[in-house]
Amino acid sequence: MPYPLHTPVMLDEVIHYLDPTAGKRFIDATLGYAGHALGLLKAGAEVVGIDRDIDLLNIAIERVTKEGFIKSFTPVNYAFSEALDKDKNLLEGKFDGILFDLGVSSYQLDTPERGFSFRYDAPLDMRMDKRLGVTAADLVGGLGKNELVELFETLGEEGNAKRIAGAICSERLIRKIETTEHLANLIIQTVGRSRGIHPATKVFQALRMAVNSERLELKAALPSALSYLKKDAIICVISFHSLEDRIVKNWMNDAESAGQIEIITSGVIEAGTTEVAKNPRSRSAKLRVAKRIL
Ligand SMILES: C[S@@+](CC[C@H](N)C(=O)[O-])C[C@H]1O[C@@H](n2cnc3c(N)ncnc32)[C@H](O)[C@@H]1O
């Protein structure tokens, strides 16, 4: 399968903190193209790579195989909250570190039929895992006006949430909103085009986060991850959204107060200017790192 080039965000920093060497074992909870995972594998470590998106898991397996590391690699096709749920017993043994590189991959955004992007016309889907029951079109068609407003305000921080939700509710009385283009054009008609980001950016982000329960996934997975980590193991979390970073920060503070971890990064680490120039996606990335101490 052909796939575009992908540059992992803050790879040097992640490798620095996880410190992979032969014999160490890591969980990459958001495998994607295996960019970070390959960094760990090349240093001689073993990696369990989790991705809920079977397309990305297959791309990662192909890349890891091509690079000659498949024997040190275990792919897992589950949501990370499930894979790390101790009761499900899906992972074996303890690990020296775990990485979460949250959000969506460029493959998902750049594959029109996945319905993540307003740049292409496609069914309004946005599920990272086709086994999920509810699509973005289901939310746009089924939520009440106030629920849409709350969704766009909380997950999208969209200033025009009320106007957009009103326009959706009027439009869907006439015609179902089932495609990315239909929704994007409706938003443009409602709020106009301005300089800067596309007017549909925040609504699309909010829908994607809701369809994939992204905040709930993170809240469930962070505490579960601890039970798979050895003493002194490292947990690295890269987030791209202030709401997610807040979840990570609050959890790390609580876990530190409970004597479970020690926070290693005071505040967040951000990508340097050279990386941002080469990889604009890294601009909004925030890395937090902690060490398991129990
Ligand atoms: C930003 S990309 C990771 C890129 C990867 N670190 C690399 O360098 O190639 C995030 C990936 O995590 C996956 N993902 C997001 N949320 C997930 C979840 N709750 N469970 C499992 N995989 C998830 C997405 O499908 C996507 O492939």
Tens of pLDDT, residues 164-180? 999 999 999 999 999 99
Residue to mutate, 5, 31, 116, ligand 1, most ligand atoms under 8 Å from C-beta:
31
Q: 151: Cβ below 6 Å to ligand 1?
A: no
Edge-to-edge strand list for the sheet holding 25-28: 73-76, 46-50, 25-28, 95-101, 229-239, 286-292, 261-263
238 Cβ closer than 6 Å to some ligand 1 atom: no
- Residue 203 has what pLDDT? 97
Radius of gyration of the chain (CA): 20
Q: Which of 105, 205, 222, 284 to mutate to test the pocket of ligand 1 (most atoms within 8 A of CB)?
A: 105
Say if ligand 1 is within 6 A of residue 75 CB: no
53 Cα nearest atom in ligand 1 = 25
Q: Is the CB of 180 under 6 A from ligand 1?
A: no
Q: Which pLDDT tens digits describe the chain residue by residue (294 residues)?
A: 455 567 899 999 999 999 999 999 999 999 999 999 999 999 999 999 999 999 999 999 999 999 999 999 999 999 999 999 999 999 999 999 999 999 999 999 999 999 999 999 999 999 999 999 999 999 999 999 999 999 999 999 999 999 999 999 999 999 999 999 999 999 999 999 887 889 999 999 999 999 999 999 999 999 999 999 999 999 999 999 999 999 999 999 999 999 999 999 989 999 999 999 999 889 999 999 999 997
Q: Which residues contact 225 (CB under 8 A, 6 or more apart)?
A: 27, 29, 84, 98, 235
Taking the centre of ligand 1 as the mean of its atom positions, its distance from the CA of residue 32, in whole angstroms, is 5
Alpha-carbon distance of 291 to 48, in angstroms, equals 19
Amino acid at position 46, single letter: E
- The confidence score (pLDDT) of residue 5 equals 63
Decide: 101 in ligand 1 pocket, CB within 6 A: yes
Give the distance (Å) from ligand 1 centre to CA of residue 50. Answer: 8
Our answer on whether the CB atom of 6 is closer than 6 Å to any ligand 1 atom is yes
Q: Which has the closest alpha carbon to 208: 54, 75, 105?
A: 105
Contact between 194 and 154 under an 8 Å Cβ cutoff? The reply is no
Mutate to test the pocket of ligand 1, among 30, 82, 286 (most ligand atoms within 8 A of CB): 30
> Does 83 contact ligand 1 (Cβ within 6 A)?
no
Q: Is the CB of 35 under 6 A from ligand 1?
A: yes
Cα gap 294→288, rounded to integer Å: 19
pLDDT > 70 in the chain, percent: 98
Q: Domains in the chain, please, with CATH?
A: 11-107+214-292 (3.40.50.150), 133-211 (1.10.150.170)
Please, are residues 171 and 151 in contact by the beta-carbon 8 Å criterion?
no
Find out whether the beta carbon of 37 lies less than 6 Å from any atom of ligand 1: no
Q: 281 in ligand 1 pocket by Cβ < 6 Å?
A: no
282 lines ligand 1 (CB under 6 A): no
- Token couple for 186: 């409706």
Which of 100, 120, 6, 108 lies closest to 50, judged by CA? 100
How far, in Å, is the centroid of ligand 1 from the Cα of 244? 14
pLDDT value at residue 77: 97
105 lines ligand 1 (CB under 6 A): yes
**Nearest CA, atom 24, ligand 1:** 104
